[in-house]
Each structure stands twice: as structure tokens, then as C-alpha cells.
Amino acid sequence: MKTFTEYLYFETKKKREYINVTDKIEEIVRKSGIEDGMALVSAMHITAGIYVNDAESGLIQDIDQWLQRLAPEGPDYRHHRTGETNGDAHLKNLLIGHQVILPITKGRMDLGPWQQVYYAEFDGRRKKRVVVKVMGM
């Protein structure tokens, strides 16, 4: 089995952003030379996430509103007693998840017709990274 690792870096302009990274992941898979296996895509920060869904702007707005309802900004989270003010971002990470595993077949990501890979930032405006680890043969 071979492995290949590369990192993506993000510094968003807004606190919350949803960035389609499908093409970047596909490029990393191609560079890896792995024909059959999987790619692990993992946000290396506890206030960001990775998810797979449709690249439709209305759905992205729905996801953002859903997350805001479940983990709104501002309430007096116990986490804020540490001096931080991003308790909502930690909870949003738990709802979205911090990583996905993507199948690779014939040297390409084997996604469904509408599936796209997204980096979700919940506490932005500073440098963050994602690890992409491709494994297989």
C-alpha cells in the first residue's frame, strides 16, 4: 500500500464560510498516483469541518441557517469562561464533522453525480489547514 499526504491552507475573510474543495482534492488524488484506495480529508482545527453534499447555493444557505439555529453565536457558552468567544464554532464542528473518507477508483474520486467536498469554516479570519491523506495502490 502507498500513501501520499498534502495540506490545504485557508484564511477566510469571514467568520463562517463554505468552500468547495472538490477540485483541489481531485488534483491531490491525481498527484498521488494511487489508482484504487481512499482519501481522508480532515480539518486540523476544532472550529472547522469537512462535509460532502450538493454544490447548490440555496442548500449552503440552508446548512448555515440550520447550524446557526442549533448552535447560535453569542449565547453564554461555558467555553467562553476560558476567555474564548467561539463556543458556537466548536458545536458546529460537532454537527458537521471534521473529516470524510472518499473512495478512489481508477485514479479518481468516486463520488455520486451531485456530491462535492466542502471545507466549512466556523471561526475564520486566521490561517487554518486541512490534511489530505491518500492511501491505496
For 44-54, how does the pLDDT look when each residue is reduced to its tens digit (9 = 90+)?
999 999 999 99
Non-local (6+) Cβ contacts of 45 within 8 A are 128, 129
At 23-72, the pLDDT tens digits run: 999 999 999 999 999 999 999 999 999 999 999 999 999 999 999 999 99
Residue scoring higher pLDDT (75 or 125): 125
Domains of the chain: 2-136 (2.60.120.460)
Does position 75 have pLDDT exceeding 90, yes or no? no
Non-local (6+) Cβ contacts of 21 within 8 A are 8, 41, 117, 118, 119, 130
For residue 107, give the C-alpha cell: 485514479
129, with CB counted inside 10 A (0-12, 13-18, 19+), is: middle
Which pLDDT value is given to residue 125?
87
Which pLDDT value is given to residue 76?
87
Which pLDDT value is given to residue 56?
96
At 77-124, the pLDDT tens digits run: 999 999 999 999 999 999 999 999 999 999 999 999 999 999 999 999
